[in-house]
Amino acid sequence: MLWLSKVYGIPAGMYASQVWGSVYLSEGSEFGSQLQKRHLCSLRRILGVKNSTTNWAVFRECGQEPLQFFWFRASIRFFNSMLDSNSETLRRVLKADLHLASFDSSCWSAQVSNAFINGLQSSAMFKQEMLRATQVPMQEFICDLRFRHLKVWREADLVGNCLVTNRGFKGSGPLQSCALCLCFCICLCQPPELPLPLQLLWSPC
């Protein structure tokens, strides 16, 4: 079922996303689309977990990326292909939209270029190349985008290591893994009141 979801569901969710998906490309907008919410709902049903299961944990268990990853990648490929297009009209429209991006944040070029700003290591270079109407290097961009999506797990790992250190857990193995999972769930869910055992275990780093 997961294979079918990846082979058929994701391509269907990418249909024309190069045009309408630009509003969901910024860091923090991964789960803003109704399409992404429905995708997550189907993954939860496949796994047989509750609706309260955290989004990133579902993706990790399924070995899948958020739809934002595919939308962003498709948008940059679309941009690069427009630069190489044989149509003079298309190239002029793209250059006009790039010029419009300097004073209108709602245009396509502005939305895509602003999505580079947060979370990407080479964000300034990617944005500069796009606004200059030059090719964005796809391989570097895809690696950088994956790095951004793994940010939540790097942060969970740091908090987990701090929790292990503060509470005196030694070594690695099931105990440390359990502590990492526990602190990750606490950081993402942030319930208003934790049960007493968790309150005793958890302390800020």
Q: Tell whether the model's pLDDT for residue 190 goes beyond 50.
A: no
How many Cα atoms within 13 Å fall on the side-chain side of residue 99? 6
| Top mean-pLDDT range of 133-142, 154-163, 195-204 | 133-142
Q: 54-75, pLDDT tens digit by residue?
A: 999 999 899 899 999 999 999 9
pTM of the model: 0.75
CB 179, CB 160: distance < 8 Å: yes
Q: What DSSP string describes 20-53? A: HGGGG-STT-TT-SHHHHHHHHHHHHHHT--TTS
Q: Is the pLDDT of residue 202 over 90?
A: no
So what's the pLDDT on residue 170?
A: 46
Q: What mean pLDDT is predicted for residues 34-40?
A: 94
Q: What is the mean pLDDT of the segment spanning 150-157?
A: 80
Query: How high is the pLDDT of residue 161?
Result: 60
Q: Cα 173–178–181 angle (5° rounding)?
A: 125
